[in-house]
Each structure stands twice: as structure tokens, then as C-alpha cells.
Amino acid sequence: MSTGALHDHVAIVGASSLLGKELKRVLEDRNFPASEIILLDTSEVAGILTDAAGEATFIRSLDEDSFEHARFVFFTGSPVDARQNLSAALSSGATVVDLTGGSLASTGAVISSPSLSTMLLPVPTKPSIPGPIYFSPSSPVLIAATLSAVLSKFSPARIALTLFPPVSEFDQSGVDELESQSAALLSFRPISQTVFDSQVAFNLLDRFGDSARSSLDKIRRTVSSITSQFLAGRAQSPAIQLIQAPMFYGYAFSAYAEFPALPPASEVHSALAALGVRIASDEDPPPTNLAAAGEDNILLSPVRPDDSHPSAYWFWGVADNLRFAAINAVRIAEDLLARQ
């Protein structure tokens, strides 16, 4: 790969994370115009051999020159890493696309989803000078915002959304713990509970143990808060619940929406399809988290009316949690390049 062009590189901070790896694949799959993809991470994982654009490369340790010549810097690791390196990335002249949320406290950070811009009105108030910091929301926020944006044209009375996150939302350590717990339980051995402080395998949870690395309720509040912040009154924010599921990959969700008058299902389907949502036919098997693997968009079953509430619909859908988030981030960069 050529490395000579000024500000023509892409840097991925947190390249060893599951999201970082998926982002690299998406950049390559979409032939994103960059002379080099620079993979960066903490010193603990620096030196790992991997590949970028079909060529062998190493994950580099973050240093003061890491962002030199970078046109875009994607943060995919921890929010702490994003906050600590945000200033250096901006000082290099790069545009930041943050997938961690670490940039949200920064003045001028813009929450963005290019695919939803066709459905939602412009944000009522914007920073006077849009900074080169863009926050690309996580998959649950994108799912919630997509449903709200589509249903807003039908003036829903209420929307309730239950999300079933996979353990890969906790990166490789979450995947490893579910795998370890599943094997241990099948062998009648004690289980490890380092990440969740609870039995996740063969189980559903509305909360984790007291010593878990994160609180499920805190995650729910964050998803709800960012969804409301992103929608900014342009569409009704749904009530959101999170139930931890024993799935490795793929976000599943169930939603309920009531309307003053039930809109035709065909019109709801058309509005969803306009945003790229793939709707199965009645003859197709229902969407599953396995079927969503590698898909760029949400997969949805046909909407179902509620027998007890004739003005309500039920929704069931899935999305590849890593790819869906990575696709949105790359679309932000593509959209910015198209405007130049």
C-alpha cells in the first residue's frame, strides 16, 4: 500500500477490539479510499500480526505521531482511549469518527446516521461551526432511532422496545465468558463469572451481579439517553428495556407501537424498506441473530397486529451488532468525502 499521500490515511484506534476488526473489514469491503489503514491500540496488544487490505501489518502502539497524515481517525476501543487521544487526533488535522461515546462531552460533537437523514428533519439546533468530531451510535441506538424515525410519520401514541444484547457487546471477554460458562455447565463444572458476575449461559437476565464489569441498567440508560439526544424531538423516543441474552453475536429486539388509528401494514413496511430494513415475507423463516451475521441492515419479520389492542403492532427484528455499527461509521466518512 502506498503511504505517501498527505492526509490520505485512515487510523483505527482500538484495532484489536471486535468492533475495530469489523470496522477494518467494512472499510475493505467498501473499498474506502485510503492509501493506508493504520491499526492502533494500547501497548499491551501492540505488535500483533494481522492484515489490512490483503497485506500483512502489525497493530501499532499509540504515540504522539500515530495520527500523522490521517484523514479520518475511528475510535473503536474504550471511551477512555477516545477521550485521551481525541485532542491529538484533531491536532493532526484528522476528522474523528467515534464509535465509543468518549467524544460526546466534547463541544461540537455531532451524533450522525446518514441513512436516517432522509427520514428525519434537520436537527433544530446545531453547533455554529460543526467540528470534525462525529459520534457514530451503537447498534441499539441505531435500532431504536430507526424504528422511531419510521413510525413518526404515523404519529404513534407510544413505542416500547425490548433489546436483547449479545455478549459480544462486551468485546472478546464477553464472548469468552459465555463460551466458558456453556462448556462448564454442560460438564457440571463451576462457571467463571468475571465479566457478568452472573450465569449468562442458558439464561436471560435483566441485571448483572454486583461485581460485574458494567451495569445493564446503566447501559439501558445510556442507550435511552443517546437515542433521545440523537432524535432531538424529531421523533418520539421509545421506552427501552434491555434483557441480556445468551447469544454470542447479533442484536435481537421486540417492539410494540400503538397508534391513534392503525396504519396499513404495507405502508409501515414501505417506510421501513426505504431505510434499508429487510422485511421477511410470511413464507420466509423468521429473522434470527444467526441470519443477521454479515448483514448491513436490520432484518425484520412482517409486523403483527395485537389481538387485544386493534390499533397496535408488534415488531420482531435482528441486526449484526458489530457490522451494523461499523457500517454507520464508514457511511459517515463516505458522506463527508462526497460533500468535498
Report pLDDT digits (tens) over 181-231.
999 999 999 999 999 999 999 999 999 999 999 999 999 999 999 999 999
Break the chain into its structural domains and give their ranges: 9-137+326-339, 141-321
Q: Provide the terminal-to-terminal Cα distance of the chain, rounded to the nearest Å.
A: 24
Cell numbers for 25, please give them: 473489514
Q: What is the pLDDT of residues 92-103, one digit of tens each?
A: 999 999 999 999
Residue 298 has pLDDT above 50, yes or no: yes
Note the pLDDT of residue 3: 38
Determine the topology of domain 9-137+326-339 in CATH: Rossmann fold (3.40.50)
Note the pLDDT of residue 37: 92
Residue 1 has pLDDT above 60, yes or no: no
Determine the topology of domain 141-321 in CATH: Dihydrodipicolinate Reductase; domain 2 (3.30.360)
Element (H, E) at 61: strand 60-61
Please, what sign has the CA dihedral across residues 45, 46, 52, 56? Answer: negative
Note the pLDDT of residue 108: 74
Residue 115 has pLDDT above 80, yes or no: yes
Least confident of 107-116, 172-181, 215-224: 107-116
Q: What is the pLDDT of residues 229-256, one digit of tens each?
A: 999 999 999 999 999 999 999 999 999 9
Tell me the H-state helices in the chain. 18-29, 79-91, 139-151, 171-186, 216-231, 265-273, 321-339
Q: For 310-335, what is the mean pLDDT?
A: 97
Mean pLDDT of the chain: 90
Residue 127 has pLDDT above 60, yes or no: no
